[in-house]
Copies of this chain bind each other. A is one copy, B any other.
Amino acid sequence: MKFVCDRDVLNSAVSTVSRAVSSRSSLAVLEGVYIRAEENGRVTIIGNDLEIGIESVIEADVKEGGEIVIDAKLFGKILASPNDSTISIETNEKYLTLIKSGKAKIEIPGIAPDEFPDLPQVSEDYSVTLPGGVLKNMIEMTSFAAAKTDNDPTRMGALLKIMPDGLSMVALDGYRIAQRNVSLEGNFEPKEMIIPEKSLTELARIIGDSDEDIKIIAAPGHAIFLLETCKLVTRLIEGSYTNFERIIPTSFELELECPTHQIADSVKRASLIILNDVVKGPIRFNITDGNINVSCTTSAGSVDDNLSVDTPPDVALEIGFYNRYLQDVFNVLRDDNIMMKFNKSINPLIITPVEGNDYMYMILPIRLRNAG
């Protein structure tokens, strides 16, 4: 194999596919990026840890076709170090790889490409296309609520529901639910898939600030996200997703419109004395006429803060939450104001936009010892 190409283009492709490379695997080949040069001038670069695979194709001056696997970390460091704008990659029959750029020659051992796992081939029978920015936003508004570990593996992913007139993404653990709904013109064939949270997070990173269209191709066991210059293939999580809709309250005793930044800052301040995961709080909301008192008392001290809101007369509700579950949602909310919807102090809090049903976040409260 031998090809010459632009160093920045190769560097960018290798760093993108490296997101899917295992950093520590029992198989050396899985710690590498696979490179295949074809004599038509296409060089395909793949990283694959068997859960996610990312493939990127670049153009190159291919002198001789072939394939190789190169250690991803070392290759990434070599490509990132300053040198000439073009680079030449050349392998011999023993997979020894010679990398030349400017006056520098670097020779490193490659790995036989035979054992590198192929990306699943998926037919395009089923596909949906939407703007990358919309998909990224759906991921950011929900995926943080997926469980990090859980006996039920479906909770470590997010449910992507394709409906005739739009998409919905939901993530949940045992204590909270985040749901983002998007209307799209089209007439999509309904489909549901549970996508690992890690794959979604990598997808959001790859999308970055681009708003190019993304085609979602669904197949048994896998989904493919097709971008302009690369594709991400992810394993789907099998199982039946928690029937969450019946848990979400639909009527509320108290609905408050709150300035997002003010309540977020109050919760952040009250969290100052929550020193680590052992001293967990809770954060108390004590809602009375025209005021939310946000407080927290731990062994490290106490915080007491107040926020003016419009309330109905004679309101009186004290309710407690684990601070991270509040801070996580305030980190992603972009609206100036939000609705907080309560029933009793033992019932979940629902956070939504002031109008519409584009977004819904539900948190279970912590039972307070001395609640009013």
Contacts and interface: CB of A to CB of B under 8 A. Distances in A.
Contacts of A273: 74, 106, 108
Contacts of A305: 103-105
Interface string A81-99: 1110000000000000000
Interface residues of A, number: 28
A4 to B, nearest CB: 18
A306 interface: yes
Contacts of A356: none
A105 B303 contact: yes
Contact of A107 (B107, B268, B301): B301
Contacts of A82: 265, 268
Contacts of A265: 81-83
Contacts of A346: none
Contact of A269 (B104, B302, B306): B104
A344 interface: no
Interface string A289-316: 0000000000011111111000000000
A164 interface: no
A272 interface: yes
A304 B107 CA distance: 8
A284 to B, nearest CB: 14
Interface in A58-111: 74, 77-78, 81-83, 103-109
Interface of A: 74, 77-78, 81-83, 103-109, 265-266, 268-269, 272-273, 275, 300-307
Given A104-B304, A105-B303, A107-B303, 15 more contacts: A74-B272, A74-B275, A77-B272, A78-B272, A82-B268, A103-B306, A103-B307, A104-B266, A106-B272, A106-B301, A106-B302, A106-B304, A108-B273, A108-B300, A109-B301
